A and B are shown apart, each in its own frame.
Chain A
């Protein structure tokens, strides 16, 4: 039986634009921008000041607390400024700006080939923390925190989220195709600190090549299995992913660890490999630059902090003028209006579309077709929640499980009346969460 969940949608995949394109190393020339908040938790504290010289891999901002992550320079050059800069979220965040000297002079990294069996939990966590690794699927939860659950023995599954269910994105797929050994080694390192856990690499079945090659490499490995999942959005949503692979259900108030699981994105696992085996901090990631407005869609290994503008130019610039630019995938990515924003640890893609499907349609009245309920992976009633949200009835909104929404966007996608369901619900969720925090 295929691993999957109930609900979901099948949007146009668009992966054919870049799925066969090898990862190209991208060398930025212009200024680099490092927002101090590229993760969930406290912002990092800058360690440099204007005029300082920095090298590749140098820590330029340290973790601002336990739930936080440090930031390293990805180029060599001079600190130009520490100022507010626009990010993909649409907000201005304090950022370290470095003038890139184009030489990419690096600090020295210390490789470590301690056998897996001899790796200690403390060293691994310390190295991951020092490397500033955060969840690279987008959420940006600091990895060392994720790997330090309250009850270590309760963790029995380490899941590598290679579903890459967002349309257009191929960065994880290319990593798996080009550096499968590193990814597997990364997973083995995590498994080494969770002796009671099994590893799962979960991949959607629209990537048969990756499934086959990984299965070949892992033949005979009893601790790691490769799961082929049904291709469906949002197969990679954390809670749905856990359910699809283990049959365990968790609600919005729980952590994956409550179901004995820890979930990591492919690039995160790769970063763990880099940190533990090569001693390299997180300074780059794979970014898919794609969409029908891009001249030469491609996958790039991008130094974090690079400007989106430069990256688009590296992909040949625009073939057609785009109507919409998105940081991330089309389902959960963020629309951006300024190409100066930097690539951060969570940027998986830059998507340029010649047509904005959202603006193309006008919102109509709900005809109660029930499609939103059918596709909702959270099994809530989006049309009802949206109505309650618009009425401002927060109490009923929570009673009807509004907080269980994961904002995946399926309801908005499928709605024939083109109602902005996700947006309405997400807005109300944020308001309620803000009130809870107060």
Chain B
């Protein structure tokens, strides 16, 4: 009997639970299924494509990186699938595919693998990638749709106008938002599943949402808002539910101790409150969580659980004292140890420097390569805009091309000084003036029909730049935005013909806007929910008109 037996030896315990890492990951994917399904139903096949692309590229990048680094390929643990799915659920439904691929690469390669792979990343890969994409492609990442129409997210509407969308549709998810965040109902189904399967602990999400709700309630009372509605809108709006149940609970990047989970939840709740209410964006969950990720080691350090029976009994065992020989060894060791330390530090510094230089070089090369095409594209866009705002002109000649650049700059400075000091414009500034002529540049005896004035002004979401065509008689020929970065669905509506055409063909000293329907020639219908944007655009057009008046045109 002995010869036939092939007995295995190992230290106890000899039994293992059936749950494995991939089971847990699979459970998370399963828990995200309702929210994913709803997102696909709401946003259609393109959203499905984004989800598929994110998952496939995350898995692909992980496999590729591990293969290239000569490591064992571990995509079978499903963790890259979870990252890909979470990233996709955090993306707006019409994001260009290649951006999703870039985001996946950032999540897997930079955030996860460069730090040592599964279990070693200090930030949630999906969220870090989302924030990376927001910083890189702000416009695309804030471009939200509902029913195929560009729409602001409920949270953005709430922040900008104080209006609350239907709470029912927010709870069920019939609103604009990222692919996976809209339906609170679907997310809660997943959350209950995770709790029931004991995949996540209640502490982080409950303390997160609880703290956030408490802060919102206090703030709402202080501001005299309709607190229940305000609170419900904040709880159902944006990425809170997706973030609190599925991202803040990410094992790797959240505290492992029970007390730590509570502290972490409270921290996230407060941070989200501050970012949502006082930050520039309506959202705050993603940033809160990745900032929270950074303080996790600190939280864990101060929340080490008390061991069973700790502090009992009279004498506590003293830690092992170094014995004599060891002490001697220790005496010799410091020099060697210090050398090893220095070596380690130098290596780390060197590695970081190399990476920095490498990344810098790549960015530099990218910049060089793309500089000219970008400049030419920008120039084309400008010329296009100039033509658009002064369609009658045969040629548009920038002032610096007509004279010298210095003369043009001097003139611009004079104009801006006058606009600010005498005409009372606060933020609008003219950056370029061009002559709108009858014939193309180079024609002799060219007649000046008017001017195209390039104006910048501060909008709600940062600077906007627009070209305004004004005839010599002071008639606005048209306006066009060269850049605008307002809230999707609200301020962004400034860039629609319906709004822009209100200025066209009018000869007035100054435009005003009204919220009650324009009656007079100089009245513009304000964009609802975007007073700041309307003001900015109107001011900019007025500045252009004033500028042309200074130039001697107009009435």
Contacts and interface: CB of A to CB of B under 8 A. Distances in A.
A379 B12 contact: no
A367 B256 contact: no
Interface stretch (B55-63, B183-191, B313-321, B433-441): B313-321
A332 B341 CA distance: 40
B117 A365 contact: yes
Interface string B300-313: 00001111111111
A435 B7 contact: no
22 contacts: A9-B17, A90-B9, A250-B309, A251-B308, A253-B315, A258-B312, A321-B6, A323-B7, A324-B7, A330-B12, A335-B10, A337-B7, A358-B8, A361-B16, A366-B119, A367-B118, A367-B251, A381-B305, A413-B17, A417-B20, A417-B119, A418-B16
A395 interface: yes
A250 B317 CA distance: 13
B257 A409 contact: no
Given A323-B6, A358-B8, A412 B309 contact: no
Contacts of B9: 90, 335-337
List the 7 shortest-distance A-B pairs measured between CB atoms, nearest first.
A409-B13, A251-B309, A401-B307, A423-B11, A404-B307, A249-B309, A365-B119
Nearest to A335: B9
A418 B502 CA distance: 68
B202 to A, nearest CB: 13
A380 B305 contact: yes
A184 interface: no
B12 A325 contact: no
A233 to B, nearest CB: 9
B12 A323 contact: no
Interface in A314-361: 317-318, 321-326, 330-339, 351, 353, 356-361
Nearest to A251: B309
Interface in B10-46: 10-17, 19-21, 23-24
Q: Size band of the B side of the interface? A: 35 or more
B13 A413 contact: yes
Most A CB contacts (10 A, CB to CB) among B257, B307, B312, B315 go to B307
A395 B319 contact: yes
B189 to A, nearest CB: 22
Interface stretch (A29-37, A117-125, A369-377): A369-377
A357 B15 contact: yes
A414 B313 contact: no
Most A CB contacts (10 A, CB to CB) among B119, B306, B315, B320 go to B320
What is the predominant secondary structure among interface residues of chain B facing chain A? loop
Nearest to B315: A253
Interface in B295-351: 304-313, 315-317, 319-320, 323
B309 A254 contact: yes
B24 A369 contact: yes
B1 interface: yes
Contacts of A423: 10-11
Given A335-B11, A336-B9, 9 more contacts: A249-B308, A253-B316, A324-B7, A356-B10, A359-B10, A361-B16, A361-B20, A370-B251, A373-B256
Interface residues of A, number: 84
B422 interface: no
B320 A435 contact: yes
Interface of A: 9, 11-12, 90, 167, 239-240, 243, 249-254, 258-259, 309, 317-318, 321-326, 330-339, 351, 353, 356-361, 364-370, 373, 377-381, 383-384, 394-395, 398-401, 403-404, 407, 409-410, 412-418, 420, 422-423, 426, 432, 435-436, 438
Contacts of B309: 239, 249-252, 254, 404
A271 to B, nearest CB: 25
Contact of B319 (A254, A325, A364, A398): A398
Contact of A432 (B10, B252, B320): B320
Given A365-B119, A368-B252, A435-B320, A332 B16 contact: no
Contacts of B316: 253
Contacts of A351: 14
B16 A412 contact: yes
A274 to B, nearest CB: 30
B308 A377 contact: yes
A330 B15 contact: yes
A321 B5 CA distance: 6
A353 B14 contact: yes
A251 B312 contact: yes
B432 interface: no
B1 A317 contact: yes
B370 interface: no
Contact of B15 (A12, A399, A416): A12
Contacts of B16: 357-358, 360-361, 412-413, 415, 418
B307 A339 contact: no
A401 B310 contact: yes
Nearest to B15: A330
A373 B251 CA distance: 13
Contacts of A370: 201, 251, 256-257
Nearest to B11: A423
Contacts of B252: 367-368
B120 interface: yes
